[in-house]
Amino acid sequence: MVAVLEFFSQKPESPNPRILYNMELLGSQPGGLLERKRAEDSLRERAAEAQRAATESETLAEIGRIISSSVDIESAYPRFADLAHQIVEFERLTIAIIDCESNRGTVAFSKTYGTNPISVEIGETFDLYDSVTGRVVRTRETILVSHEEAAQISTIAPLEGAEEQAYLATPMISQDRAIGCLILRSSHQKNYNEADISLIKGISNQIAGAAGISTLYSNMRAA
């Protein structure tokens, strides 16, 4: 039973069988409508979920194609960020590449969507010690921080001043070596969830290999 249909009468006598039959007939109609509405809502939800999954898969594949076909990966980062923004909510995407010898990280790319007063400069360097990037590359684990938790963290380089933000940070692994960190940040009252974690890992996997090769070539040229 999903609903109750009630009739009230001021007459003391019980309703005759015909009235009871008509009441049952009327009562069966709303129940059927509610059941059909629930079934239609469930179908729409499943269709929307299937569409989201298809869009996410197509977008990840497109990211992979763009990154793999780019001679200069840095020129592909803006388009990559735009595609990532289509499937995950964030206000800023940052890619930090690490140098284990100097124990420092460098902002290789950063792009902001919407209004955000916090500036992250490409080429900016920071100490890996006690930073989110350092933690991520050491543990090789994705870090999810809510708005409430972010307020308790003192150093979240390269996102200084982002204590009021929720963010996701995941390692970039190339040839079984952590080469950097991909960080998404949102100042909205949206805290990231497990579905977002799965997506950011997939996004990182699409760009880590090319980023690792680019870093290797850069180091060889500098040597």
pLDDT in tens, 66-101: 888 877 888 889 999 999 999 998 888 999 998 888
**217 domain residue, yes or no:** yes
**21 domain residue, yes or no:** no
Confidence (pLDDT) at 30: 55
Confidence (pLDDT) at 7: 54
**37 domain residue, yes or no:** no
pTM score: 0.72
Residue 223 reports pLDDT greater than 60: no
pLDDT in tens, 127-173: 888 788 888 989 999 988 776 666 555 444 555 555 556 788 999 99
Residue 118 reports pLDDT greater than 70: no
Residue 176 vs residue 49, higher pLDDT? 176
**36 domain residue, yes or no:** no
Residue range 18-37: mean pLDDT, rounded: 62
Residue 15 reports pLDDT greater than 80: no
**35 domain residue, yes or no:** no
* Segments forming the whole domain that contains residue 85: 51-222
**209 domain residue, yes or no:** yes
Residue 72: CATH number of its domain: 3.30.450.40
Residue 203 reports pLDDT greater than 70: yes
Residue 8 reports pLDDT greater than 70: no
Query: How many domains are contained in the chain?
Result: 1
**How far is it, in rounded angstroms, from Cα 142 to Cα 211?**
18
Residue range 22-34: mean pLDDT, rounded: 60
**123 domain residue, yes or no:** yes
Classified as helix, coil or strand, 145 is: strand
Residue 165 vs residue 177, higher pLDDT? 177
Angle CA 107–110–113, to nearest 5:
160
Strands 166-174 and 92-99: unpaired
Tokens representing residue 209 in the block? 């290999």
**24 domain residue, yes or no:** no
Q: Find the helix packing angle between 194-222 and 17-68, rounded to 10°.
A: 0
Mean pLDDT of the chain: 77
Confidence (pLDDT) at 161: 52
Confidence (pLDDT) at 21: 57
Confidence (pLDDT) at 154: 45
